[in-house]
Structure 1
């Protein structure tokens, strides 16, 4: 199934959003929920309509609707259908980078890369399952954010392409997640962990790593107990109004002397302190 794109016409002018002064932009809405009639489905439709009413172009990747294949395989490196013993060993990073440089990545991956390249902001919406992303969404990151496209080294300058030097510098990212946890369970002393630390791997290790400015996540706890989604919908739309104006999480840059060559925080930065919080400037 082909990826679903927004149905806004080329050159169509829409009224300005009263909740934000941001000019029209292009936004990729990446979502993963198997049931379109779910709360996640309702929030997705409301969010996309809200952004479109503000004049933004919304590109959509509804992974379940698309039938997205989440499995990274030699096919992603342009390999043939020959058996594994008949081909050289699959070197994931090297071979997928070569496929990207040579234009040999699969068509479905290339379409997703083109959408992400065109986007000024990325919204990632999903239900938290076992404190992580649904497998189909994790597979999108595995197959789309490959070396050469989302990170690596600039071959002409040897510049390392990550964090503040990442190829997606200038793009914004917002994670919108639903959870079964009670509200205080994802607070500073909650059993499940504070939400930005709970999602640290995605927020910092994926989005910030590739250069994006990462906004504090939008989280809806006790989602499976909600009967009327009006308040949740209104809260999400309010956050979307600040997509291009809210302050991002101030993660520390890597190449300004705050980290050693071993990627460890320098001794003179918050000396004696440990934990994920030390990687955020206060």
Structure 2
């Protein structure tokens, strides 16, 4: 083996080792967070059992917060998803128009926009006129946060579809709406649904906008979207402000519950979506 070839092999191995090491460093904080939540949260759940998930806060449980998080996530998705999809589809179909370019710029700005400002804005335009905190106000705030994620993924997923399929659909006599909604959307559904999942995960764990919109309801279960509601992220934030070690233990338990909800819902859906695309 020549010296040049041997040197190239050594460089290749060094490069692969460097990439693997840097990848390990990048994911290490994530695994450390998961490990810490499991180690500190599992004793709380094992000690209190099912009551931790079903009882109210005064009885040592987080039941209303769990239900509130689910309601807020579903409402935010129902409100934000149609707007996000239409914005992404418009940016894809009219990329060179003034509105199309402005839409893409606005979506990029919204991705980096401080979420706490979204909460203060919704508090001013929804909470104050209604005269009360509510699940609706929280869902609207979360919908504004979800929208850019879904819209950007929608536009990028559609842009990756080869133009030949679009031209073929027009050649068969399809209208613009049919091309976008029946051809391009179906072919780009993997990327679009990935954006939906990321957006849902983002809003389900948000805390800042909820501080100004939902009020926090942990002693009874929510009965109306026009009344205050609780959420796991806000409850964790409230508990860690307390000097009580018992409240800190509850915060770790609530964090583990939220982690379990995320992993049990989003991971199977993501893999099911992957398998469906292969078919």
**TM-score normalized by structure 2?**
0.28
Structure whose residues are more often helix by fraction: 2
Structure with the higher fraction of residues in strand conformation:
1
Instruction: Look at both structures and tell me which one has the larger radius of gyration over its CA atoms.
Output: 2
The higher relative CO (CA closer than 8 Å, separation ≥ 6) is in 2
* TM-score, normalising length: structure 1: 0.28
